[in-house]
Structure 1
Amino acid sequence: MVDPEETFYTEERWQNWLTRVEEEELDPENEDSARLLLNLQDDAAIAVAKIVSAYEDDTLDEERALDELEQIREIVLSEPSLEDEEKLMLIDGVQTSLVCVFYAAEEYVNSGTVGDAPVDEYVLAAADAEAEDDLDAALGYLVQAGTHIIDGSELDMSVAEELEYGLVSEWVNGLDSLQSAMSDPEVVEDDE
Structure 2
Amino acid sequence: MTDDEEGIETFYSAERWQNWLDRVEEEDLDPENEDSARLLLNLQDDAAIAVAKILAAYEEGRVDEDRAVEELGDVRDIVLSEVDFDDEDKLMLIDGVQTSLVPVFYAAEEYIVAGATEGEVDEFVRAAAGAEADEDLDAALGYVVQAGTRVIDGDALDVDLLEEFEYGLVSEWVNGLDSLQSALEDPEVVEEEG
Q: How high is the TM-score relative to the length of structure 1? A: 0.97
The one-letter code of the counterpart of 1:127 is: A
Superposition pairs for residues 32-181 of structure 1, below 5 Å?
32-114=35-117, 116-181=118-183
Q: What SS does structure 2 have at the residue aligned with 1:169?
A: helix
The one-letter code of the counterpart of 1:180 is: S
- Structure 2 distance, partners of 1:8, 1:62, is 15
Q: What SS does structure 1 have at the residue aligned with 2:151?
A: helix
Q: What SS does structure 2 have at the residue aligned with 1:165?
A: coil
- Structure 1 distance, partners of 2:83, 2:9, is 25
Unaligned runs of 5+ in 1: none
Q: What SS does structure 2 have at the residue aligned with 1:153?
A: coil
CA RMSD for the aligned pairs? 1.1
Mapped pair 1:27 → 2:30: yes
- Structure 1 distance, partners of 2:87, 2:59, is 40
The one-letter code of the counterpart of 2:165 is: L
Unaligned runs of 5+ in 2: none
- Structure 2 distance, partners of 1:161, 1:31, is 21
Percent identical among aligned pairs is 71
- Structure 1 distance, partners of 2:119, 2:67, is 29
The one-letter code of the counterpart of 1:157 is: V
**Deviation for aligned residue 1:163:** 2.2
- Structure 2 distance, partners of 1:163, 1:37, is 23
**Deviation for aligned residue 1:24:** 0.2
The one-letter code of the counterpart of 1:93 is: G
- Structure 1 distance, partners of 2:144, 2:68, is 21
- Structure 2 distance, partners of 1:113, 1:5, is 27
Q: How many residues align?
A: 190
Q: How high is the TM-score relative to the length of structure 2? A: 0.96
**Deviation for aligned residue 1:4:** 5.2
The one-letter code of the counterpart of 2:137 is: L
